[in-house]
Structure 1
């Protein structure tokens, strides 16, 4: 089963005095259900934000023409290597819990020499952090933690040094107008906008399966059934193909199997798709969920071959996608809406209805060690056990590790 890669980054806008967005703070988020920072190691959170932005989503796609503020922990600031990101796009936020040491001062001095913009984050005018002010281009003042008297006193002092001031956690119009009168340059908080979650999801592709598809799709003696078999043995490829076919077929696609999807997609599209899969990169994947779905798929197919009322492909498809919700961490009903599967296949997956659903319930029962399920027509308990063993041997024989 393809490993799901989740990419979540919180993006909260930063405004100027004219209420125009001039930058975004980029925040680590673990999911879209809770729009708050997850408590993990600070170094890991900042590193994940950077790798998601630079390695996956793309800096321009996330920031556009704006700058991005990223939190830097003490651990990241003390790294000796030169930062890899563009200094014209990134503002380095020094977190409020850093310890002022000679090593930190040397690191900030080097970053300033390299031309990076430095901001002090969540600043509450702690005297211990005073030595850092000389490196700051921007100071982000946490106004909810600082009284009006301190705001007036320190804002004048810092403005006199040429430091830009950013009011953090502005939640009311009164707070905004007060900071505006004090000469604050930038503003951020729930009064303006909550962080927006930018997300991405994808299933990893199996390298061997993708390459096998590419080699076979360009074979002069191409066999569409063989292509269906290759795709059908990889849930990631199967799901991607079904999404494509559902999109080009429109509403009411009623796709009955992977082979049905392959025929609708057509050879020319398959060639282009396979080439793009290879060019875009392929990844290895863990096998635990994949093995489960493949055993289920083969078992359902073997039983379907014995019962003979529906196509073997439909049985295989039901087994293959029975683990899809676990892979995608999303409600199965939501996923199936996008795949355009046949009504009978959907009913089997969602409610274990009909003949397809009955077979699926059997294989799930076997996995749990149950013996009280009803047997398919004309099959004994020993025959069902033998078919399950055959399905396990089939999954093991693929050796896609």
Structure 2
């Protein structure tokens, strides 16, 4: 599945991209709204993950432009504004769902899986095709209850076929769906991955042509009805009418063998990644960058105290604080996110801050710095009292 990620905070974007890649999604990254539009115009995506506050073209405007262009790709809008008006605007612009920063990564992944199911024939979290079973939440694939050890690309190929079981994909279409611009392979690479995937399915007991070649057209999942006819027994044919599968395609396998339970499929190579561990590692890499954002807030506070805060510096402080609100909370710094929101609201106010607010701002920034020196998993200190 190919996802377009449009996020201007490059550090949070890297966390998101790494997390999605670990779940076997192919991710293209755009750091502003105009770049996002250019990507969406030229490539067919399965989902667009879109930030609300973007340079050049904001998320609401980009979403409207996509819908006006008859682009029906599911859009998941991400916003740091928890106001109901922002949510209403997002949905009215054509977004399919939204999440509020700071978000829980497991919830975000669940919402992505739910949106991807909407555009397919199955509404079940688990995709089945006869004895073949793919669980997107754990990235595990089984055949007849036997766990298949697939590479990331083999998993993506199989998921694409399962989610679009009525489609035939040419080699060039598979390249467009599953390979990024940074890794341009030849059609020979597609054939090699198909061959390897077929081999692993066959070793698990599947027929060699479960993924069949359609002459001069490409590849597809072999229709289950065709398999039943080739088996040629009345018992199997009568079972077809009685069975209902997740893909709305008749099967016999599920009548005789119960679906594998979670514990039967544990220990596979594609288990859910340690999202929190990955986030912590990326946080250590980009920690200094976020501390540099605080320096902008300190410059704005110093100028405010001297009564020479320019509009440009005020807007910079608002942008930096807004970015910190969403990013820090997603990294696990909930208290730091709350502090950043207080700072953002002070600089964002229509009227100049009163003397009490000006005196309180340095305390908030100091507390924010102290929070970022802690491990994300460490319990936070109490937040300073709200600005009077």
Q: TM-score, normalised by structure 1?
A: 0.28
Q: TM-score, normalised by structure 2?
A: 0.28
